[in-house]
Amino acid sequence: MSAMKVSLLALEGLSPSQLLNWKREMQLIVRPVVVISTVDREGNPNAALKTNFMILKALEAVAFHCFPFHDTYENIVDTGEFVVNLPSEEIAEKVMVTAVDFPPKVNEIEKAGLTAIPSEKVKPPRIAECKLHMECKLKWYKDTIIVGEVVAASADEELIQGGYEERQRRLRQMLFLGDWKYGKIGQVSELPHKTYDTYVKHNPFRTGKP
């Protein structure tokens, strides 16, 4: 028997801020922490922490949510470029400084005590202390969504050698849980993946044909 389903949106009598808090409270899906670096038209660097980030195609295209009133959004629309930096747990405290709403033209990389290094193909810098970087050109944007094409990517040497899980553990990625918390990769299990042939072998009467 499946569990009883409770509607999350049948809400009445809440103020806009109570509604926002409720939605955040019920938004349980884990997301990665990334830092987006940009420059403004004059070349002043900017960095901001984002969590609603996704890969569209491995090392080819990415997407993330950004409020249009953020410096990050304005810089990307103005210059057409950004860098996705993947921070590790070791620099969590510094990385959180990039989430502070500083006024425009403030260099959050400096404020956070992080180090800007030149990128290979775009003007926004990479953050040296992050272990993985994707340099992007703006491909498309609408409302709060930004899509980028990856034009260069780089990683610390330690992420190149070894098995997938081992390399992923070395990255010590921060996974945003909501409620001002983050988690780390814990127990790892194999996905029970199946090809069509193995599925049919184990379910001989379900060939998928009508």
Ligand X SMILES: Cc1cc2nc3c(=O)[nH]c(=O)nc-3n(C[C@H](O)[C@H](O)[C@H](O)COP(=O)(O)O)c2cc1C
Asked if 199 touches ligand X (CB under 6 A), the answer is no
Contacts of 120 (CB under 8 A, 6+ apart): 135, 152, 154
Residue 77 interacts with ligand X (CB under 6 A): yes or no: no
Least gap, CB of 64 to ligand X (angstroms): 7
CB 102 within 8 A of CB 109: no
DSSP 98: T
Task: Specify whether the CB–CB gap between 90 and 128 falls below 8 A.
Answer: no
Tell which positions 35-64 bind ligand X, by CB under 6 A: 46, 48-52
Tokens read off for 184? 């780390």
Q: Does 134 bind ligand X (CB under 6 A)?
A: no
The residue (of 110 and 166) whose beta carbon lies closer to ligand X is 110
- What count of other Cβ atoms lies within 10 Å of the Cβ of residue 189? 5
Cα dihedral angle (64, 67, 71, 75), rounded to 10 degrees? Answer: 50
CB of 59 to ligand X, least distance (A): 21
Q: At its nearest, how many Å lie between ligand X and the CB of residue 34?
A: 9
Nearer to ligand X, 72 or 85 (CB): 72
**Tokens read off for 152:** 């260069």
Q: Which of 22, 44, 55, 65 binds ligand X (CB under 6 A)?
A: 65
Show the site string, 170-189: x = touches ligand X by CB under 6 A, - = not. Answer: ------x-------------
Binding site for ligand X (CB under 6 A): 46, 48-52, 65-67, 70-72, 99-101, 176
